[in-house]
């Protein structure tokens, strides 16, 4: 009887430890969303901000055309997995976009933070 209690307590502790580990690993990625898109246009705004106008090929959001702001933290990756420059992303390229899909209190409207743009092979 005592051996059975020890096994049950050990199993419950193991499940609890695994749950806690998952909770500590996952929170940063809960708000990440990925989608594929086709680049329509690359834009450099007068203030120097770099943006991509994309047509999303998977419908996750209500508007299919969207401007994605490229910041210094945004990783631009070519089809070979190496970093590329903004100028190497051409209209008509298929890309995979990873962004933070969350509202922030500092921004009164939806403005996603773009983590990565990966050019896919055609």
Higher confidence at residue 10 or residue 55?
10
pLDDT at 102: 58
pLDDT at 69: 78
Distance separating alpha carbons of residues 18 and 77, to the nearest angstrom: 34
pLDDT at 64: 41
Beta-bridged to residue 62, according to DSSP, are: none
Q: What is the dihedral of CA 28, 121, 53, 37, to 10 degrees?
A: -60
Beta-strand ranges (E) seen in the chain are 32-44, 50-56, 65-70, 75-77, 94-100, 113-119
DSSP conformation class of 83: B
pLDDT at 13: 93
The pLDDT tens digits for 52-100 are 888 776 544 444 445 677 888 889 999 998 999 888 888 888 998 888 7
What is the mean pLDDT of the segment spanning 100-118?
A: 66
Is the CB of residue 98 less than 8 Å from the CB of residue 112?
no
* Residues 6+ positions from 79 with CB-CB distance below 8 Å: 118, 119, 120, 121
């Amino acid at each position: 009887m005592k051996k059975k209690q020890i096994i049950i307590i050990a199993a419950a502790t193991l499940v609890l430890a695994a749950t806690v580990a998952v909770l500590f690993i996952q929170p940063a990625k809960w708000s990440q969303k990925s989608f594929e898109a086709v680049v329509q246009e690359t834009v450099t705004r007068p203030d120097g901000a770099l943006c991509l106008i994309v047509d999303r090929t998977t419908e996750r959001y209500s508007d299919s055309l969207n401007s994605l702001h490229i910041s210094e933290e945004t990783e631009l990756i070519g089809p070979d997995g190496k970093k590329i420059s903004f100028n190497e992303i051409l209209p008509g390229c298929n890309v995979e976009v990873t962004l933070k899909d969350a509202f922030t209190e500092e921004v009164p409207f939806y403005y996603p933070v773009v983590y990565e743009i990966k050019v896919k092979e055609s």
